[in-house]
Chain A
């Protein structure tokens, strides 16, 4: 439908001999905003050796614009623990991660333990930051960072496949 309307509007500009000029003042108020994208699914790989931790690398892509006095962040919350029962448990502190290679902002420091009941840090975006275009903004568009997840391989886990739901939240002021 939109393509049809566009074609109609473009056709309407053809075949006219008249010429005109018009001036307009365009004003835009850019609010702080941020969005992110994560893979729909990530599978952890077993460690090299018996009962070594499982691991996975997860890329996070994001765009952010913060005000001169503001800032932003990306946080992580486990919104669904591993299921079915009998396997790993985020509540038990088994899932940890580190953050690296942030192209805008500062990645979380050290090893973080993922949690079910609250958000844990992933990234801090400074004030007056923006994605893309270079100059005052980052050169990269979009921005990206890397999360390295590790999950202890406890012999107490029953064999089987287990899945957890992770939610990333980005904010900007």
Chain B
């Protein structure tokens, strides 16, 4: 075999090996795109300020008002749970109503309405400053619609003549969770 011919064959082999080093390049390429979807929840209070008003006169009816909200939730597929709760994080000022230490029968109470997949709180709840109280609960694989589902809390505050006249504000914090 001539020297030139040997060199050509050697060159061909080296070219072949070099081509193999770039084997990851192809006319098409495939990739797997993965995403892990976890439990998640969010809430938006639509009524920034809820004014409690009384329709009656001479203490005949309580102050009432409604706070509406929109929630998004996704709970675990098999054993997930979720909840919406509220807590009065800032009480009414002295001289007026009180959430922390109301006179007998003067507690701030509420009822709940929530669209599926939530289950609204049962009956009338009494709001507290010392802990959260239920607004709604969710079971496993609960999923709201993309734009969110809605709910509301209807407040009742007795009109006690003992309250001094004036405007009183309390802050209520809603919390949503999902697992």
Contacts and interface: CB of A to CB of B under 8 A. Distances in A.
B3 A155 contact: no
Most A CB contacts (10 A, CB to CB) among B6, B7, B36, B38 go to B36
Contact of B35 (A38, A50, A151, A169): A151
Interface of B: 1, 3-4, 6-7, 9-10, 13-14, 16-17, 22, 24-42, 72-77, 80, 141, 143-146, 148
A161 B35 contact: yes
A67 interface: no
B25 to A, nearest CB: 4
Nearest to A151: B35
A10 B25 CA distance: 30
A79 B135 CA distance: 45
A165 B30 contact: yes
Most B CB contacts (10 A, CB to CB) among A9, A167, A169 go to A9
Interface residues of A, number: 60
B60 to A, nearest CB: 44
Nearest to B42: A50
Most A CB contacts (10 A, CB to CB) among B13, B14, B25 go to B25
Given A12-B1, A38-B31, A166-B33, A159 B80 contact: yes
Contact of B34 (A38, A142, A162): A162
Contacts of B141: 158-159
Contact of B26 (A37, A42, A54, A162): A37
Interface string A124-161: 00000000000000000010000001011111111111
B43 to A, nearest CB: 9
Interface of A: 2, 5-6, 9-10, 12-13, 16, 20, 22, 34-44, 46, 50-51, 54, 56, 58, 60-63, 79, 82, 86-88, 95, 142, 149, 151-171
A43 B34 contact: yes
A153 B3 CA distance: 67
Contacts of A151: 35
A151 B36 CA distance: 11
Contacts of B28: 36, 167-170
Contacts of A10: 10
B34 A42 contact: yes
Contacts of B40: 50-51, 153, 155
A5 B72 CA distance: 68
Contacts of B36: 43, 46, 160-162
The 4 A-B residue pairs with the shortest CB-CB distance, nearest first, are A50-B42, A35-B25, A38-B29, A44-B35
B42 A43 contact: no
Contacts of B25: 35-37, 61-63, 142
Contacts of A152: 146
26 contacts: A5-B9, A9-B10, A10-B10, A12-B1, A13-B7, A36-B27, A40-B32, A42-B31, A42-B33, A50-B41, A50-B72, A56-B33, A58-B31, A61-B25, A86-B77, A95-B33, A155-B72, A155-B145, A155-B146, A158-B37, A159-B38, A162-B36, A164-B32, A166-B33, A170-B29, A171-B27
